[in-house]
């Protein structure tokens, strides 16, 4: 943020072109590519072309498109990997484990703040909305919906996500008390029960997760 930090001192050489520089070029190219073509339309090959590097170098630094995308956004967590991990566990507490994962990753100051910046990108009038929407649909929501199954699986997955997004907004962006200061475990129980119900709940069925008050 300081002005001095953004100015090159006279006589100080530019950073040598090398590994760091190639990775940075790829990330700059990726940011352009995602902004112009969305998450769906972007390709690692096209990113390599923009950056003027061999596609193999992109694959050397980044596992796949989701990896490059989350790196470009400086995302403090990998929702696509989290979903893989969490869905591989028991089904009856998926809601609670999703919420617990989210809060563990975001509860440190820096990560929470970064997440708010990403939400802002998603709300921007620019290309951010499309990028984030396409990423979520492709890498997160479709996996959740696949697990749920049934005609309304996509809607259920999105309603579960809407509760998670709202929790992020109130705890890390608006920072309203008491929600901002409530222990993770209690939020995981209360919000986890809702996420679970959105995903699997039958009409009128009891919320089968842990008692939300913990009493």
Q: Which residues bind its own copies (CB under 8 A)?
A: 116, 119-120, 122-124, 129, 132-133, 136-137, 141, 152, 154-155, 158-159, 161-167, 169-171, 173-179, 182, 190-191, 193-194, 197-198, 201, 203-208, 210-213, 215
Rounded Cα gap, residues 77 and 66, in angstroms: 12
Rounded Cα gap, residues 207 and 37, in angstroms: 42
130 closest CA partner among 40, 45, 46, 29: 40
Two tokens, residue 128: 């951010």
CB of 174 to its own copies, least distance (A): 5
Residue placing its CB nearer to its own copies in the complex, 68 or 193: 193
CB of 88 to its own copies, least distance (A): 24
CB of 175 to its own copies, least distance (A): 7
Residue placing its CB nearer to its own copies in the complex, 24 or 180: 180
Rounded Cα gap, residues 109 and 15, in angstroms: 30
Residue placing its CB nearer to its own copies in the complex, 154 or 185: 154
Residue placing its CB nearer to its own copies in the complex, 87 or 119: 119
202 in helix, strand or coil? coil
CB 192 within 8 Å of CB 95: yes
DSSP label at residue 180:
G
CB 83 within 8 Å of CB 164: no
Residue placing its CB nearer to its own copies in the complex, 57 or 173: 173
CB of 137 to its own copies, least distance (A): 6
204 conformational bin, left if phi > 0, alpha if psi -120 to 50, beta if neither = left
CB of 198 to its own copies, least distance (A): 7
């Amino acid at each position: 943020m300081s002005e001095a930090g953004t100015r090159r001192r006279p006589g100080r050489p530019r950073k040598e072109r090398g590994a760091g520089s190639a990775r940075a070029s790829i990330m700059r190219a990726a940011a352009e590519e995602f902004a112009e073509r969305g998450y769906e339309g972007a390709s690692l090959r096209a990113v390599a072309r923009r950056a003027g590097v061999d596609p193999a170098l992109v694959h050397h630094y980044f596992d796949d498109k989701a990896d490059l995308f989350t790196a470009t956004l400086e995302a403090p967590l990998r929702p696509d990997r989290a979903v893989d991990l969490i869905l591989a566990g028991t089904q009856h507490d998926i809601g609670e484990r999703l919420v617990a994962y989210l809060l563990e990753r975001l509860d440190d100051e820096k990560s929470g703040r970064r997440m708010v910046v990403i939400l802002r990108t998603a709300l921007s009038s620019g290309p951010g909305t499309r990028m984030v929407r396409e990423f979520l649909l492709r890498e997160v929501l479709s996996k959740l919906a696949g697990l749920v199954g049934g005609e309304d699986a996509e809607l259920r997955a999105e309603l579960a996500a809407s509760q998670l997004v709202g929790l992020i907004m109130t705890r890390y962006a608006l920072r309203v008390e008491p929600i901002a200061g409530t222990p993770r475990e209690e939020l995981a129980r209360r919000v986890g029960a809702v996420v679970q119900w959105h995903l699997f709940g039958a009409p009128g069925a009891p919320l089968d997760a842990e008692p939300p008050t913990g009493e």
